[in-house]
Amino acid sequence: MPHEANLLVTLSVAFVLAFAFGLAADRLRLPPLVGYLLAGVLVGPFTPGFVADGDLAIELAEMGVILLMFGVGLHFSTADLMAVKGIAIPGAVAQIAIATLMGVGLAEFWGWGLGAGLVLGLSLSVASTVVLLKALEERNLLQTPNGRVAVGWLIVEDLAMVVALVLLPATAGLLGGQGMGDGVQDGSVALTLAITLGKVAIFAALALLLGPRVVPWLLTQVARTGSRELFTLAVLAAALGIAYGSAHVFGVSFALGAFFAGVVLSESRFSHKAAADSMPLQDAFSVIFFVSVGMLFDPSILLREPLAVAAVLLTIIVGKSLVAFGIVLLLGYPVASGLMVSASLAQIGEFSFILAGMGVALGLLPEEGRDLVLAGALLSITLNPLVFAAVEKVAVRRKTQRGQASSYGQEKFRKLTQEVNRVRDKMAEREKAHSLQVRKLVETFPVLAQLDMAELDRLLLMFRPGSATPGARVIRNGDRADSMYFIASGAVEVQLPDRTTFRLETGSFFGEMALLSGNRRNADVTAVDYCQFLVLDRRDFNQFTRQHGEVRAAILEMANQRRRLNAAAKATGAAAESA
């Protein structure tokens, strides 16, 4: 079969089966991710029937990993993390360390060695953000303080796994695997590690220093065009371009570069639009990633090593959850917070697959270990709704028995709630300020009331600020027409060639006649007060009015009304002189 046809077959079968199994999983009140993994198992080499092209699936999955990491960075919020830093940072770090030691213990028991144990432990220590967000949204808990704690905890886990993905290749040789580093031959591990971290640090510094200046500027220029396709392409070009640069110039992974691209965009005003426009492509390749992971899973492990599978599952659901619960209580927070974090961590997901795959590629983890991680993921994700239900019952029963919640940890929880609410209010104020800016624009210039919120946002990007002091000449008769002026505050006097004058105040606009006709300016415009303008350049004016005929028609009608008033005033003046 030609390679191109093989690609189409692989994509077609993957999407069709992923849709069918994902829908079935959703109907069973399970995360669709379970269905995607089962679809991969069905078309994998370990089950009878059709076998998809594994090499192609893996290549497509690489794109899925890059876009997943881009999405992780895009949804990363420093403010949200800082609001719960007192519990999320120390809690997640301690939980990762203890869960990793559990994995090392299992690996030693099975005779795998330290390297395999570290990979296994890290894979079991990190929960799936996708699964958690869905679980919290279904229960309307995402915006609660405990929900924010769980999300912040997983953000720290994700950041830790990003670091692990950087360090594993550099330390693989020391751990008994095959190094995939930067080519240091027979050198010290410390030197190899230092070079790797140095490259990452230089790349991160450049990305975080230059990125917020360059990328938002680029997206502003693209957003001004009004083309959704170009904006989506710009977002993907930024993600993949930074990812390629990180790999080609600094020798770090594509995935890490994509993560930093997402972080750069996360703090810009375009983060929501970038997430919305790139989401379909992220979702599509994420599905392919999960299908390809399922293809690597040998389901016979469930029959061959049932005790090993049970040990991994108990580590995820019981061991890791109890550790997290204990850590939360030791940090001085209430039982309710511990129960929420415990339920949230009782599963593993996308980072576990990435780590297990890298461990096998580096020769650290045996393929059996990858199968155990995949089995643990499938079973823990499937059982996670039951874990949440059990935790909710425990919380309700405990409250009923006590009559009211225990006072333990309530003071710390009260302060945490205040901090979470402060961050939420700050973000709400920022969004409210933007909404007020848009509303004021419409109130000041009613001619723009026909535009929706998205187009008003775009128009705000096109405007550049201008100002004038009393007596300053804003436009001269005979000048080339280069822009249109909206008066945000103040007043101007317009003088026609026949000496006729009239006054324009806040909410009016001028300079549009020459832009519409293509002629030179035919009047002098002088500021008679301290003025603030919103200036629309000729190119932006022509582009915007060409795409919005109703606005152009309204401006043209107002310009014609002004011409008629000017003509009437001129005729009145001539009649007065002749009398």
Task: Convert the pLDDT of each residue in 486-523 to its tens digit.
Answer: 888 889 998 888 787 888 888 888 888 888 777 888 88
Between 170 and 562, whose confidence is greater?
A: 170
pLDDT in tens, 224-233: 776 778 888 8
Domains of the chain: 3-180+188-412 (1.20.1530.20), 446-578 (2.60.120.10)
pLDDT in tens, 262-274: 877 776 767 767 7
pLDDT in tens, 343-394: 988 998 888 888 988 898 888 999 899 999 989 988 888 888 888 888 888 8
Mean pLDDT throughout 331-337?
A: 88
pLDDT of residue 181: 45
Model confidence at 579: pLDDT above 60? no
pLDDT of residue 424: 78
Give the C-alpha separation, 341 to 322, whole Å.
10
Model confidence at 529: pLDDT above 80? yes
Give the C-alpha separation, 501 to 493, whole Å.
7
Model confidence at 412: pLDDT above 50? yes
pLDDT of residue 327: 93
106, 127 contact by CB (below 8 A): no
Model confidence at 51: pLDDT above 50? yes
Joined together, the tokens standing for residue 178 give 């095959």
Model confidence at 535: pLDDT above 70? yes
Model confidence at 336: pLDDT above 50? yes
Candidate from 219-223, 264-268, 333-337, 567-571 with smallest mean pLDDT:
567-571
Mean pLDDT over each residue of the chain, to the nearest integer: 81
pLDDT of residue 576: 46
Mean pLDDT throughout 262-290?
A: 76
pLDDT of residue 11: 82
Long-range contacts of 442-450 (CB under 8 A, 24+ apart): 444/486, 444/488, 444/506, 444/507, 445/486, 445/507, 445/509, 446/507, 447/509, 447/551, 447/554, 447/555, 447/558, 448/551, 450/548, 450/550, 450/551, 450/554
pLDDT of residue 58: 73
pLDDT in tens, 25-36: 888 888 888 888
pTM of the predicted model as reported, rounded to 2 decimal places: 0.72
pLDDT of residue 119: 93
Model confidence at 178: pLDDT above 60? yes
Mean pLDDT throughout 482-487?
A: 87
Model confidence at 308: pLDDT above 90? yes
How much of the chain, in percent, has pLDDT values that exceed 90? 16
Candidate from 131-140, 478-487, 529-538 with smallest mean pLDDT:
131-140
Burial of 96 (0-12, 13-18, 19+ CB in 10 A): buried
Q: What are phi and psi of 509, to 5 degrees?
A: -145, 160
pLDDT of residue 434: 65
Displacement of CA 412 from its chain's centroid (Å): 30
pLDDT in tens, 58-117: 777 777 778 777 877 777 777 777 888 888 889 999 999 999 999 999 999 999 988 999
Mean pLDDT throughout 424-429?
A: 76
Give the C-alpha separation, 135 to 343, whole Å.
10
Give the C-alpha separation, 177 to 118, whole Å.
12
pLDDT of residue 330: 92
Candidate from 143-152, 306-315, 406-415 with smallest mean pLDDT:
406-415
pLDDT of residue 185: 44
Model confidence at 452: pLDDT above 80? no
pLDDT of residue 315: 94
How much of the chain, in percent, has pLDDT values that exceed 70? 89
Mean pLDDT throughout 274-299?
A: 80
First to last CA, the chain: 95
